[in-house]
Amino acid sequence: MPLTGHSKAEIADQPDMLEEENLLFRKIIDSIHEAVYVVHKDGKITLYNRESERMENLDRKEVLGKTEKEAFFQPYYFADEVTKKVFNTGKPILEQPYWYYLTNGRKTNMIYSAFPFFYRGEVTSVYVIFRNMNQMSDFIANTMELQKKFTKETNYYRKDALYLLDDIVGKSVQMKKIVREARQIAPRQSPVLIFGKTGTGKELFAQGIHNASLFAKGPFIGINCAAIPETLLESMLFGTVKGAFTGATDVPGLFEQAEDGTIFLDEINSMPLSLQAKLLRVLQEKKVRRLGGSVPIPVNCRVISATNVDPTQAVQEQTIRSDLYFRLATITINIPPLVERQEDIKVLTMHFIEKFNLEFDLFVHDLSNELLYAFEKYAWPGNVRELENFVESAMNFIQREDTILELDHLPEYFRERLESNKDCAHPATHTGTLQSILAETEKNLIKQYLAQNRNNITKTAQDLGISRQNLYYKIKTLGLDNK
């Protein structure tokens, strides 16, 4: 079957095309690192790639054209447990563990997925993809090495923490109070937990506290706990020793790299509970054990963590362990969303105008009342980050002679968002508790963006200024998952 779409006329005019594409297809299949084989509906194996040969120590000549039970050593249950089931149900079986013994007696641990192939409405083949667990360990080890190299190169060109508390822009009473409190607690060594919606500037505060602390001369190491798989996150935080798994080398974790500095754990509520237990031990003992190691290594760094959901709510919902919460939240800083501090909207807008004046070589010195009014009526689900995005977009459409940023400078898509969302900022007609009003407003806003984006999760999460994982969580908790 050709890899790309060609009409029958094209294939007839170019008789070598099908052969060339089939050769290319097989070349690609032989080049990947996963083991792949295909079983036809007559029970015969029709494809068996290079990685399958290497993994099972079999030659494809011994396998192709035979049934699974004929080709593989006895006893062999995979055909009955998996292949026949996919043929009968027409449904895939995804990411399942499986182990068996090779002909040389070696036990092999795998993760497999099996998929039906439909042709003219009928399941004519089943293809199975295997990943060797040892290969996954190699991948983690290689990623750790690359991460270490990347960290070195990045830190060579720029300072770890770029921002000071003086860089935080805001004239509202809330922001002045928070900055004052951050400046007061910065010289202490106590852990700090920062709570704020996505885009409010949690890392800005973390860097500012670091630079105002006794740890300022040390490194600032930040990591987003929601962006990294659990197995890799543990290795990155605590490090590895040679021999911990296949391909593992002696690599210091981020706690060791943050020695005499600050480690910033963003979206701590997304860290798996099993890993939270290990983190708690590190915080209590001020010692870390590398993955596969037995020797505790003393660590001396300040811990600043952040969450984009209410930490007490996260404890109630058991996404943060209560004992870890009390360890991390010795000091808590709550950054209010932009919609709750409207006095900051104009000053932030002017700050971003000055920033992009320098970047784009422009001379804008103010914004129109119409634009300011639209900004003040908007709910800003993406907070300060979304406001910066709006201003940067508008500044791209400024003419060199323009000195006032106008509503018309915004692309139509952004103007529509301002118009459709402006009433969400002031739910004057709602009744009920503050928590119920906020939940209903959030629910309506997510419904609106989902409808606007035709239920595209990635686009909706971007528009709201939150992660895909957080959006999925909100859809479920707000009862939108069945709509």
Tens digits of residue pLDDT in 416-457: 888 876 544 444 444 556 666 777 788 888 888 887 777 888
What pTM value is reported for the model? 0.58
pLDDT value at residue 375: 94
Per-residue pLDDT band at 52 (split at 50, 70, 90): confident
Q: The domain 8-133 belongs to what CATH superfamily?
A: PAS domain (3.30.450.20)
User: Which run of H or of E encompasses 441?
Assistant: helix 434-452
Right CATH for 159-334 from 3.40.50.300, 2.40.110.10, 3.30.300.30, 3.30.1130.10: 3.40.50.300
What residues does 38 pair with on adjacent strands?
Answer: 47, 127
CB of 253 within 8 A of CB of 288?
yes
Is the pLDDT score of 324 beyond 90?
A: yes
User: Which run of H or of E encompasses 297?
Assistant: strand 297-298
User: What CATH number should be reported for the domain whose range is 338-425?
Assistant: 1.10.8.60
> What are the distances in angstroms from CA 202 to CA 68, 169, 312, 319, 380?
56, 13, 18, 19, 16
Which one, of 165, 215, 160, 163, lies nearest residue 191 by Cα? 215
Query: What is the rounded distance in angstroms from the CA atom of residue 392 to the CA atom of residue 381?
Result: 17
Residue 292, sorted as left (phi over 0), alpha (psi -120 to 50) or beta, turns out to be: left
Residue 261, sorted as left (phi over 0), alpha (psi -120 to 50) or beta, turns out to be: beta
More confident residue, 177 or 459: 177
User: Which run of H or of E encompasses 327?
Assistant: helix 322-328
More confident residue, 246 or 165: 165
What CATH topology corresponds to 434-477? Arc Repressor Mutant, subunit A (1.10.10)
pLDDT value at residue 2: 44
Give alpha helix (H) positions in 329-411. 343-360, 369-377, 383-395
Cα 382 to its chain centre, rounded Å, is: 17
More confident residue, 352 or 317: 352
